[in-house]
Amino acid sequence: MTADPADKRKIILSGNRPTGRLHWGNYTGALENWVRLQDEYRCYFMVADWHVLTTALDKADLIAHHSREMFLDWLGAGLDPEKSVLFIQSQVKEHAELYLLLAMLISKGRLERNPTFKEQIRDLNLGGEISYGHLGYPVLQAADILAYRAHAVPVGEDQLPHLELTREMARRFNRLFGDVFPEPEALVTKFARFPGTDGKRMSKSLGNTIEIAASPEEILEKIRPAYTDPARLRRSDPGHPEVCAVYTWYRKFLPEEAEATAAECRSAGRGCVDCKLKLAAGVTAHFAPLRERREAFAADPGKLDEIIAHGCEQARAVAAGTMEEVHQAMGLG
Ligand code: SF4
């Protein structure tokens, strides 16, 4: 995609932290939606590598590898470098400068009151060990969004407080220095809780994920012991598909099979072993085109390098244009 000034579509920005291969939860919660958005918006999709450092500084040496893996997952899933700008945050240094300038527009107390931050402290058991960078990560997020003057950001409901912080910083900047930034709107993605192999929310930290790029053997291996209806102890017991992770996966990936699955489960006409084997075959076929596309890109590292370099170059050009306007507005020489 080129930054064509005649392109009047609204701009969106979104990103993922590169912490390893993406899984079904990432796919249904974001990636699948991004692929659709590409035709409607001018999209910037960012590998948020600096954001990983806020919570996993000890894994810094893995970030470059994970960033490439993320690009492969994206390309396999259908993000198209001809339609969207796909780039790596750390390759666009303008984010760091804008982060510094935006940091002057928000108080420490306001960042500490951010509900998502409070939850993270509790969930990650961070206690008093909070880095300055971690506290300030919503400011870096604001810089990511405002560098491209995005009009909208696809977010889950839990991310709304962060976006509000971005809107506050944009508003404050505009009030002090003149209109440079749009106040980005939320494109709220509503998605039902997506279960992992243990029935809890699919999450890498819980070790219950199935990767988008999983081979047929890996899919089967993960599905075989997966959580089903705990009340169904014998093959002859009627089941309750609504509590079963396997049934949720049917509804998502094989919706044409969902009704028959539920009926046969409830009447004990189908056993869980058969049900899982059938799902594994169906899901393998569902993800086959994605896996094949991913493998083709993985087999051509030179081409992947080119795609990454081109996306970063496009992003830099746009972010540099924004920073020029920021400098002018602030009178920064
Ligand atoms: S038959 Fe299928 S839907 Fe029913 S409990 Fe077993 S795995 Fe779940």
**pTM (predicted TM-score):** 0.91
The Cα 294–Cα 48 span in angstroms is 20
CB-based contacts of 83: which residues, under 8 Å, 6+ apart? 1, 38, 39, 43
Which residue ranges form the domains of the chain, and what is each CATH number?
11-194+301-330 (3.40.50.620), 214-293 (1.10.240.10)
- pLDDT at residue 191, as a whole number: 64
Q: What is the DSSP letter of 201?
A: B
Segments in the chain below pLDDT 50? 2
Phi-psi region of 331 (alpha: psi -120 to 50; beta: other; left: phi over 0): left
Which of the listed residues 232, 246, 250, 259 should we mutate to test ligand 1's pocket, taking the one with most ligand atoms within 8 A of CB? 246
In the block, tokens 């569902």 appear at: 286
How many angstroms is it from 252 CA to the middle of ligand 1?
A: 15
Atom of ligand 1 nearest to the CA of 261: 3
Atom of ligand 1 nearest to the CA of 250: 3
- pLDDT at residue 2, as a whole number: 47
- pLDDT at residue 280, as a whole number: 97
pLDDT more than 70, % of the chain: 96
Task: Convert the pLDDT of each residue in 194-237 to its tens digit.
Answer: 899 999 999 888 899 999 999 999 999 999 999 999 998 898 89
Q: Which of 7, 25, 4 is nearest to 16 (CA)?
A: 25
Q: Which residues line ligand 1 (CB under 6 A)?
A: 228-229, 232, 239, 241, 244, 246-247, 261, 265, 270, 272, 275-276
